A and B are shown apart, each in its own frame.
Chain A
Amino acid sequence: MTGRPKIDLAAVRSRHPHHFGRMDRAQITAAAVAAAALALLIYGMGELGFFGGTFLAGLRRLGEILGLMLPPDPGNWAHVRIFVMALLETVAIALLGTLSAAVLAVPLALLAARNVTTARLVRFLSRRSLDTIRSVDILVWALIWINVVGLGPFAGALAIMTSDIGSFGKLFSEAIEAADRRPVEGIVSTGGGRILGVRFGILPEVFPVLASQILYYFESNTRSATIIGIVGAGGIGLHLAEAIRTLELPQVSFIILLILAAVAAIDFVSSQLRFAMIGPRAGTAT
Chain B
Amino acid sequence: MTSPIVQLPQAQLRPLLAAYEATVRSRRWHSVMIAACVVAAIALSSISAEVAPMRLFENIGRFTSYIVRLFYLESGAPVWTDPAEWYWGLPRWLRLLGETLLMAYVGTLLGAAGAFGLCFLAAANVAPSRWLRIAVRRFCELCRTVPGLVFALIFVIAFGLGPMAGVLAVAIHTLGALGKLFAEVVENIDMKPVEGISSTGAAWHVAMRFGALPQTMSNFVSYALLRFEINVRESAVLGFVGAGGIGQDLIEAIRKFYYSDVSAILVLILLTVAVIDMLTARVRHRLIGLGENHR
Contact with A along B132-173 (1 / 0, CB 8 A): 000000000010011101100111011110111001000000
The answer to whether B45 and A96 have CB atoms under 8 Å apart is yes
Q: Which of B194-250 contact A (CB under 8 A)?
A: 233, 236-237, 240-241, 244, 250
Please measure, in the bound complex, the distance between the C-alpha atom of A141 and the C-alpha atom of B241, giving whole angstroms.
16
The answer to whether B99 and A154 have CB atoms under 8 Å apart is no
The answer to whether B41 and A227 have CB atoms under 8 Å apart is no
The answer to whether A154 and B62 have CB atoms under 8 Å apart is no
Picked from B50, B240, B241, B254, the residue with its CB within 8 Å of the CB of A152 is B50
Q: Could you say which residues of chain A place their CB within 8 Å of the CB of B155?
A: 58, 62
Q: Which of A45-78 contact B (CB under 8 A)?
A: 45, 47-50, 54-55, 58-59, 61-62, 65
Picked from B157, B164, B269, the residue with its CB within 8 Å of the CB of A244 is B157
Please measure, in the bound complex, the distance between the C-alpha atom of A55 and the C-alpha atom of B269, giving whole angstroms.
28
Q: Does B295 lie at the interface of the complex (its beta carbon under 8 Å from any beta carbon of A)?
A: no
The answer to whether A148 and B150 have CB atoms under 8 Å apart is no
Q: Which of B102-128 contact A (CB under 8 A)?
A: 102-103, 105-106, 109-110
Q: A95-B42, A139-B237, A144-B66 are in contact. Are A54 and B159 (CB under 8 A)?
A: yes
Report the interface size for chain B: residues with CB under 8 A from the other chain: 58
Please measure, in the bound complex, the distance between the C-alpha atom of A156 and the C-alpha atom of B50, giving whole angstroms.
10
Q: Could you say which residues of chain B place their CB within 8 Å of the CB of A62?
A: 154-155, 158-159
The answer to whether B99 and A48 have CB atoms under 8 Å apart is yes
- CB closest chain-A residue, reference B59: A148
Contact with B along A230-260 (1 / 0, CB 8 A): 1100100000110011010000100010011
Q: Could you say which residues of chain B place their CB within 8 Å of the CB of A83?
A: none
Please measure, in the bound complex, the distance between the C-alpha atom of A102 and the C-alpha atom of B149, giving whole angstroms.
26
Q: Could you say which residues of chain A place their CB within 8 Å of the CB of B38?
A: 99
- CB closest chain-B residue, reference A47: B102
The answer to whether A44 and B102 have CB atoms under 8 Å apart is yes
Please measure, in the bound complex, the distance between the C-alpha atom of A273 and the C-alpha atom of B145, giving whole angstroms.
21
Q: Does A153 lie at the interface of the complex (its beta carbon under 8 Å from any beta carbon of B)?
A: yes
The answer to whether A48 and B164 have CB atoms under 8 Å apart is yes
The answer to whether A259 and B149 have CB atoms under 8 Å apart is no
The answer to whether B154 and A49 have CB atoms under 8 Å apart is no
Q: State the Cβ distance, A23 to closest chain B Cβ, in Å.
A: 15
Q: Does B46 lie at the interface of the complex (its beta carbon under 8 Å from any beta carbon of A)?
A: yes
The answer to whether A156 and B102 have CB atoms under 8 Å apart is no
Q: Does A205 lie at the interface of the complex (its beta carbon under 8 Å from any beta carbon of B)?
A: no
Please measure, in the bound complex, the distance between the C-alpha atom of A99 and the C-alpha atom of B63, giving whole angstroms.
21
- CB closest chain-B residue, reference A260: B145
Contact with B along A129-157 (1 / 0, CB 8 A): 00010011101100111011110111011
Chain A: interface size category: 35 or more
Q: Could you say which residues of chain B place their CB within 8 Å of the CB of A140?
A: 237, 250, 254, 266
Pick from A86-94, A112-120, A176-184, A189-197 the stretch touching chain B: A86-94
Q: Could you say which residues of chain A place their CB within 8 Å of the CB of B162?
A: 48-49
Q: State the Cβ distance, A55 to closest chain B Cβ, in Å.
A: 7
Q: Could you say which residues of chain A place their CB within 8 Å of the CB of B33?
A: none
Please measure, in the bound complex, the distance between the C-alpha atom of A50 and the C-alpha atom of B38, giving whole angstroms.
50
Q: Does B60 lie at the interface of the complex (its beta carbon under 8 Å from any beta carbon of A)?
A: yes
The answer to whether B149 and A230 have CB atoms under 8 Å apart is yes
Please measure, in the bound complex, the distance between the C-alpha atom of A88 and the C-alpha atom of B49, giving whole angstroms.
9
The answer to whether A96 and B49 have CB atoms under 8 Å apart is yes
Q: Could you say which residues of chain B place their CB within 8 Å of the CB of A152?
A: 50
Picked from B49, B109, B157, the residue with its CB within 8 Å of the CB of A92 is B49
Q: A61-B158, A227-B147, A256-B150 are in contact. Are A135 and B270 (CB under 8 A)?
A: yes
Q: Does B55 lie at the interface of the complex (its beta carbon under 8 Å from any beta carbon of A)?
A: yes
Please measure, in the bound complex, the distance between the C-alpha atom of A45 and the C-alpha atom of B237, giving whole angstroms.
20
Please measure, in the bound complex, the distance between the C-alpha atom of A48 and the C-alpha atom of B48, giving whole angstroms.
42
- CB closest chain-A residue, reference B61: A148
Q: Does B189 lie at the interface of the complex (its beta carbon under 8 Å from any beta carbon of A)?
A: no
- CB closest chain-B residue, reference A263: B145
Q: A140-B266, A149-B55 are in contact. Are A95 and B167 (CB under 8 A)?
A: no
Contact with B along A30-49 (1 / 0, CB 8 A): 00000001001100110111
The answer to whether A227 and B150 have CB atoms under 8 Å apart is yes
Picked from B56, B167, B241, B266, the residue with its CB within 8 Å of the CB of A48 is B167
Q: Does A213 lie at the interface of the complex (its beta carbon under 8 Å from any beta carbon of B)?
A: no
Picked from A154, A224, A259, the residue with its CB within 8 Å of the CB of B56 is A154
The answer to whether B146 and A148 have CB atoms under 8 Å apart is no
The answer to whether A153 and B103 have CB atoms under 8 Å apart is no
Q: State the Cβ distance, A82 to closest chain B Cβ, in Å.
A: 13
Picked from B49, B145, B153, B274, the residue with its CB within 8 Å of the CB of A241 is B153
Q: Does A226 lie at the interface of the complex (its beta carbon under 8 Å from any beta carbon of B)?
A: yes
Please measure, in the bound complex, the distance between the C-alpha atom of A118 and the C-alpha atom of B147, giving whole angstroms.
41
- CB closest chain-B residue, reference A247: B157
Q: Which residues of B contact A (CB under 8 A)?
A: 38, 41-42, 44-46, 48-52, 55-56, 59-60, 62-63, 66-67, 99, 102-103, 105-106, 109-110, 142, 145-147, 149-150, 153-155, 157-160, 162-164, 167, 233, 236-237, 240-241, 244, 250-251, 254-255, 266, 269-270, 273-274
Ordered by A's residue number, 14 sampled pairs between the chains whose C-beta atoms are within 8 Å are A47-B102, A48-B106, A49-B162, A65-B154, A135-B269, A140-B237, A140-B254, A143-B254, A154-B51, A230-B241, A231-B240, A234-B50, A256-B146, A256-B150
Knowing that A154-B56, A227-B147 touch, tell me 9 more A-B residue pairs with CB under 8 angstroms.
A37-B109, A41-B106, A58-B164, A92-B49, A143-B251, A145-B63, A148-B63, A149-B52, A153-B48
